[in-house]
Amino acid sequence: MRREALIHWAPVLVMVALSILLGLGEEQLRQWGRYDRVALDAGEFWRLITGHLVHLSWGHLWLNIAALVMMAVLFDGLMSASDWILASIISAASIDIGLYLLAPDIVWYVGLSGSLHGMMIVGAFGLLRSYPPLGYILLFGVGVKLIWEQLIGPIPFSESTSGGPVLVAAHLYGAAGGLITQIILKRRRA
């Protein structure tokens, strides 16, 4: 792999590697790393990061990794390594802030899917610059999915596929983080 390609893929590879490593710890590391409101109130702030990297099950982990890798391939050349990092950080922070401040009834959360929604938004805007029809289709699809989830609930089969409850609020907050990231990137490029 060329050095430039490795640098470009580094953020994605790091997320994949950390998620797999944490998955090896099974339930013990899942409990240690999940977003947990009570633990956060006790000062366990690492959970604001690790909560996005631990998963309900191996099936949940592989679904999130597959989605991340497919997005990395789709958005190859459209998002730089720094774009991936910024989108990851802002989407995760948006989820953490949203859950903590706007959803006090949510006690715990795990998974990368919320952040993936944010990264998808950023990538879709990248597609608008290079191939507008696909960018618009992707933004429309994500928008319809988010509306469905907020009005009806998780899309059919998502809970059985992931092995547990799907927290649709995390998808919405992650997508909001993607929009915030896009605004920052647009200003940076102007």
């702030």: which residue's tokens?
45
Q: Maximum Cα–Cα distance for the chain, whole Å?
A: 48
* Amino acid letter, residue 148: W
Distance CA 73, CA 165 (A): 28
**Which two three-digit tokens encode residue 181?**
């990231």
The fraction of the chain above a pLDDT of 90, given in percent, is 85
Q: Is residue 160 very low, low, confident or very high in pLDDT (cuts 50, 70, 90)?
A: confident
**Which two three-digit tokens encode residue 166?**
């799907």
Specify the pLDDT at position 156: 85
Q: Is residue 6 very low, low, confident or very high in pLDDT (cuts 50, 70, 90)?
A: confident
120-156 pLDDT, tens digit each: 999 999 999 999 999 999 999 999 999 999 999 988 8
DSSP secondary structure of 119-142: HHHHHHHHHHHH-HHHHHHHHHHH
The whole-number average pLDDT for the span 38-67 is 95
